Structure 1
C-alpha cells in the first residue's frame, strides 16, 4: 500500500479533508501533519486520522508563519519519530514544500516530493524584493519536485510557465465535488428543483474573503428592495474584513448561515439558492483571475446558476460550455442588467443547461481517486514522467 506523508498549512481547511479522503479512497495510507489556525493545543481528527500537530499559525500573519515554519523544521525529526518511511511526500502550499524538503532529508533522500499549489499568494506576485525573494525560494525548493499538482490551467500557463517557476510534470486536479458512492447523492441532486421567482436567492459559499464582492452584493440587494437575497455560508476571513459580522448584520437582505460540511451538506445548501456567486476579487487580476474555485463545481453540480466575471478563467470555463451568467464589469449596473430579463422560464432553461452537462465535469469519483494514487505510485516506482497529466 502506498504511504503518503501529507504536510498541510491548515488542518481545518475543508479542502485538506477532501484530499485525505481522495488518497484513502484511492488505496493509500496517509500520515497527516500540519499547522492549525486554532488556539487550542488539541487537533481534532481529520476523517479518522490523528494528525501530527506542528503548532498554531495565524491567517494573514506572514512573519508569524515564517517563525512557525522555522520552529517546525527544527522539531520535525522528533515529530516524525516512529512514522514509517513514506513512499511520497506532498507539501501543500509553498511553506509546506519547505517542510517537505526537510522531511525528505530526514527520512531518506530517495523519496519523491510533490508540490500541491492551489493558490498563488500575492506575496509571490509583486515586483518588490520580498516577492522576488519568495519566487526565488519557490524555484529553489521546487527544483527537483517530482510533480506539481494544481487546480487550474491558468496557474500553469500564467504563473508557473510564464515566470519559469517549476519545471516539473503537472497534474491538474480540479476542485470538483467529491462523490464516492453512487445512488442517494446522484438521485438527490435531480430531486432538487429550485423554483424561479422572487425573491431570487444568491448563494456565496466557501472562503469568504472578498470585501469588494460583499459591498457589491449589499448595494445590489438594497437597490432591489427584497427582490434578491444573499445567503453566505463558510468561513469569513476576519483578517481581510474584521467588521464582517457587523456589516452583514446591518444588511436587510444578506444573512450568514455559518459553516457547512463538504461534501455532506452541498446538495442541501445549493438546493436552497437560485444562483451561485463564483466571483472573487480578493487578488484581482492575479490569483482571483486564474483560479477555478470550489463553488464553481459545487453550485453547478446541484443546478445553481453561476455568476462569474467574463475576463477570468472561471468566465472562460463557463463561456466554453455556454452556461452561467457572465458580467463584463464589477458593478451593480452590470449585475442588474444581466439579471434584468430573468423570469421563471429563463431561469429554468439556464438551470437545465447546467444539469445537462456530463457529471464528470463537476464530480470527482472513485476512479479519480484511484488515478491520483496510481500517479503517486508511479512517482515512487519510476523516474520517468509524462510531461502533463490531466486528472479529469
Structure 2
C-alpha cells in the first residue's frame, strides 16, 4: 500500500478532507499533517488522526511564514512516530517547504509532489516580494517530481511563463467525489419555483468574496424578492467588514451554515436553480484563472452556473454552450441577465446542463485509483534512477574483483 505523507495549510478545510478521501479510495495510506485555522467537525476524516503543527490565521501571511519556520525546526520530533512515506505531498508553497524538510528527515530519495490549487497574489507581484517568493518556489520546487494543479489557466498564465518551475504537470480538476453507486444517482428533474416563490441562487463553498456578497445583495433588493440568495459553507471573516451583520441586514440573503462535502451536495444544490460560480477575491488574477469547486458541484446536480466573462470559468462554460455569463460586475448587468427569468428560459438552461456527460463533473473510485497509480509511478521512477546511478559503482566494484 502506497504511504503518502500529506502536508496541508488548513486541517479544517473541506477540500483537504475530499483529497484525503480520494487518496484513500485509490488505495493509499494517508498520514495527514498541517496547521489548523479553526475548528470544523465536518472536515474530520474517519480513521485519520492528523498531526497538528500549529495554528495559523487567514490573511496573515507573515504569521503563517513564522509558524512554518517554527514547525520546520521541530519537524523531526513531530514526525518521530511516522513510518517512512513513499510519497510526500505539499499543498501550496508553505507546505512545500515542510515537504522538503520532511524529505531530509526521512532520506533524500522520497519523491515530493507540489500541489498548488491557487496562485497567491503575492507570487504575482512585480516587486522584490514577488521575486523573492517565486525564487523560493523555484528553490523548493526543484526537489519535486510532479506539480498538481486544478485549472489549465494556472499552467498557461503562471506556471509556464512566470514560475520558472520545470516539472511534469498533472491537471486534477476540482470535480465532485462520488465513490459509491448511490452517490452517482443524479437527480435530473428540473426544479422551477412554485407559483409565487422566488428563484434561488446558491453560493456555496469558501465564502471569501466581499464584492460578490455586495453584488448579490444589491441585485436581490432590486428584484424585490423575486430572487433569493442562499449561502452555505465557511465564511472567510477576515475578508468582510462584518459578514454576519451584512447577511442579517440583507432581506433576501440567507446563510444556511456549513455542509459536508460530498455527502450533502445533492440536497443543497437540489434546493436552488442557479449556482454562483463567480469569485472576485483576486480579481484579474487567481479568481480569473480558477475553475471552482462549485462549478463542478452545480453542474453535476443540475444548478445552472453563473459566470462572468473573460474568466476561465466562462471559457469552460462557453465551450460546452451551457450556463449564463455576466458581462459586467454590477447590479444593473446582473438584472439584465436574470431579471426577466421565466420557466421557459430556465428549463432551456437546465436541459443544456443536464445533457452534459456526468463524468466531466465527477471522480469515481476508478479515477481515484488512477490518481494513486500516477503517484506510485514516481516511486518506481526514483527506484529506476537509483539503479542507473548505481551501475557505474557496480562496474567499478566488479572491475576491482577481477
* TM surpasses 0.5: yes
Q: Is the 2:17–2:43 Cα contact (8 Å) retained in structure 1?
A: no
Any conservation in 2 of the 1:230–1:253 contact (CA below 8 Å)?
Answer: yes
- The structural deviation recorded for 1:188 is 4.8
Please name the residue that 2:358 is paired with. 359
Shift of 1:43: 12
CA contact (8 A) 1:193 1:271 kept: no
Q: Map Cα deviations across residues 128-159 of structure 1 (whole Å, 9 max, x no partner).
A: 21111111101111113100000001001100
| Residues in 2 aligned to 1:214 and 1:38: alpha-carbon distance in whole angstroms | 22
- State the match for 2:183 in structure 1: 185
Report if aligned partners of 1:21, 1:47 keep a CA contact under 8 Å in 2.
no
Structure of larger gyration radius: 2
> Is contact 2:146-2:169 (8 Å) kept?
yes
Which range moved further: 297-306 or 135-144?
135-144
Partner-residue secondary structure (3-state), 1:239: helix
Deviations 1:207-252 (A, max 9, x none): 1111111111111011110011100001111111140000110010
Contact 1:32–1:50 at 8 Å: present in 2 too?
yes
Q: Rate the CA distance shift 1:277–1:44 in 2: closer, same or farther, 3 A.
A: closer
Separation in 2, partners of 1:368, 1:325: 29
Find the aligned partners of 2:143 and 2:102 in 1 and give their Cα distance. Answer: 14
Question: For the Cα contact (< 8 Å) 1:271–1:304, is it kept in 2?
Answer: yes
| Pairing partner for 2:192 from 190, 195, 202 | 195
Following superposition, the deviation at residue 39 of structure 1 comes to 7.5
What corresponds to 1:90 in structure 2?
Answer: 89
Pairwise CA distance, 1:164: 3.7
Partner of 2:35 in structure 1?
35
Alignment partners' CA distance in 1, 2:185 and 2:7: 36
Distance 1:38 1:236 in 2: 12
Distance 1:168 1:180, change over 3 A: same
Residue 166 of structure 1 and its aligned partner are, at CA, apart by 1.7
Structure that is richer in helix per residue: 2
Moved more, 138-147 or 338-347: 338-347
Structure 2: unaligned runs, 5 residues or longer: 386-402
Q: Are positions 1:261 and 2:251 aligned together?
A: no
List per-residue Cα deviations over 1:279-322 (Å, max 9, x = no partner).
00000000000000000000111000000012100000000000
The reply on whether 1:327 has 2:354 as its aligned counterpart is: no
Q: Give, in angstroms, the shift of residue 82 of structure 1.
A: 2.2
Q: TM-score, normalised by structure 2?
A: 0.92
- Give the drift of 1:196: 4.5
Equivalent position of 1:8 in the other structure: 8
Paired with 1:45 and 1:321, the residues of 2 have a C-alpha distance of: 36
Q: Specify the alignment match of 2:204 in structure 1.
A: 205
Runs of 4 or more above 3 Å deviation: 42-45
Asked whether the 8 Å contact 2:87–2:113 carries over to 1, the reply is: yes
Where does residue 113 of structure 1 map in the other structure? 112
Task: Check conservation: 1:39, 1:56, Cα contact below 8 A.
Answer: no
1:37: how far off? 0.7
1:254-333 equivalences under 5 Å are 254-333=253-332
- In structure 2, the residue matched to 1:389 is none
- Verify the 8 A CA contact 1:159 1:165 in the aligned structure 2: no
TM-score, structure 1 as length reference: 0.94
> Is 2:70 aligned against 1:71?
yes
| Aligned equivalents of 1:303, 1:43: Cα separation in 2 | 24
Between the two proteins, the alignment pairs up a number of residues equal to: 382
Residue 23 of structure 1 corresponds to 23
Structure 1 residue ranges without an equivalent (≥5): 386-392
Deviation at 1:348, TM superposition (A): 1.1
